[in-house]
Amino acid sequence: MLFPLNTHSKDIFDWFAQNMPVAETELDYGTPFQLLVATILSAQCTDKRVNLTTPALFARFPDAASMAKASVDEIYELIKSVSYPHNKAKHLVDSAQMVTQDFGGVIPQEPDELLKLPGVGRKTAHVVASVIYNKAVIAVDTHVFRVSHRLGLSLGKTPEKVERDLTQLIEPHLLPVAHHWLILHGRYVCTARAPQCNRCGLAVWCPSVTNA
């Protein structure tokens, strides 16, 4: 059920700033390229599963140059426990080759450039651009989409519309961290099946609670 847009959005993000001053991706990575790989792998897959998969992958192929020389079958064998491993293995090899050949081994900063990489959609591009380069963009995944609706921050019916609403609502310098605020809140408090409203610090401003 969608409620009218929340007039307490500033209170909501002030609460996040005070109560979650440090909010970061839960994907394990050591370099920008490794974050790119982990984020590609995380599509329709849990961060926990990705973090179990990447140590062996990064041990063998730690950077774009080494992964660019790998075969799809070699990558597949190392990532076959994640969702859609065949497609992702090909995307990883192709992306590593493009990063090496077209970008000099450096992960692009701009989302539009990141979108040129195989296997990189808008969400992945925004994750990498915001986490690595602190770009004023926000990634909308299923958690962000759900929490934004429940809190009345957006009525958008698509991730792109929710992204536009949040971008207009949130101060630019907060956009990179706001993604993590919303995703972590959705992952551990405002869960899909059983939201824990009784221990949610945002309940006082949440239309899903106050209008229930």
SS3 at position 160 = helix
CB count within 10 Å of CB 171 equals: 10
Spatial contact of 119 and 45, defined as CB atoms under 8 Å apart: no
Who's near 189: CB < 8 A, 6+ residues apart?
Answer: 195, 196, 199, 200
Q: Indicate if 102 belongs to the active site.
A: no
Q: What's the token pair of residue 170?
A: 């949130």
User: No. of H helices and E strands in the chain?
Assistant: 12, 0
Among 123, 135, 157, 165, which one carries the catalytic annotation? 123
Who's near 89: CB < 8 A, 6+ residues apart?
Answer: 72, 73, 75, 76, 79
Among 63, 88, 135, 141, which one carries the catalytic annotation? 141
Q: Indicate if 135 belongs to the active site.
A: no
Q: How far is CA 136 from CA 95, 119, 123, 170, in A?
A: 24, 22, 13, 10
- Give the whole-angstrom CA distance, residue 34 versus residue 57: 10
Q: Enumerate the active-site residues.
A: 123, 141
